[in-house]
Amino acid sequence: MIFPFPSPSPSLFLPLPLPPSFSDIWNNTWYPKAKDHINTEKTWYVVDATDKILGRLASTIAVHIHGKNLATYTPTIDMGAFVIVFYCMNKFSLLETCSYWYGSGFFLSNLTQYVNAEKVAASGKKRTQKLYRRHSGRPGGMKVETFNQLQQRIPERIIEHAIRGMLPKGRALFNHLKVYKGPDHPHNAQKSIELLIRDKRVQKQR
C-alpha cells in the first residue's frame, strides 16, 4: 500500500528542548560553600562551668564548636565556635540568648565559650578512678594521673582532653577552644554572650 503523504519523522514526537535559562530551574538547590562564611561575623559566648558535670559540659561545647547547632550546618565547612574557659556571672539563659540572636537575624556561625577549668565537676567516683595517661615516647615513659591529680596540676587539660575526643581529628576545630585558669583572659574586648549549661540532675518539683 502506498500512502499519499510521507510518514512523519520520529523526531516530531520528541519534547522540545528548554532554553538554557529554564534548564537550570530544577537544579538550583542552594548548598553552603566556604566562601559564604569567610566574612561572617564571629559571636563569642560565655559559659559558667562551676560545678558542671564534665561530660555534659564538654558535649555542649563540642556541638557549638562543630556548628551542629546551626540550621545550615555542613560537615565540610568550618561553621563552628570558639571556646574560652573562665568564670563569669549569669546574665542570660540558653533559651533567651538563642531567641534574642535568632530574632534579630544574627547568624550564629562562630561563637566562643568561656569555662572555669578549676571548678568543673565529675560524676560518680571519677575523681579518684578516672585516669589520664601520657607517654614521652621513650621506654618506660608512661605517666598516669587521676582526675584529682591532673586538676590540681593542669586543670585546663581536663577540659581540652574531654572536648578533643568529641571533635573531628585535627587542629582546625580544636584551635577554637581557649582554656584559661582563673577569671583572667586576654579576650575582654570581645562582646561575649553567656550560654548556660543546663543541668539535667535538677528535677522539676511536682
Let me know: does 124 contact 134? Beta carbons within 8 Å. no
pLDDT digit string, tens, across residues 26-39: 667 777 788 877 76
pLDDT at position 10 = 60
Q: Tell me which fold the domain 40-194 belongs to.
A: Ribosomal Protein L13p; Chain: A; (3.90.1180)
Domain residues of the chain, as ranges? 40-194
pLDDT at position 92 = 29
Let me know: does 126 contact 85? Beta carbons within 8 Å. no
Mean pLDDT of the chain: 72
Tell me the β-bridge partners of 179. Answer: 85
pLDDT digit string, tens, across residues 97-131: 333 333 333 333 343 444 556 677 888 899 999 99
User: Can you tell me the distance from the alpha carbon of 91 to that of 93, in angstroms, rounded to the nearest whole number?
Assistant: 7
Enter the pTM of the model.
0.68
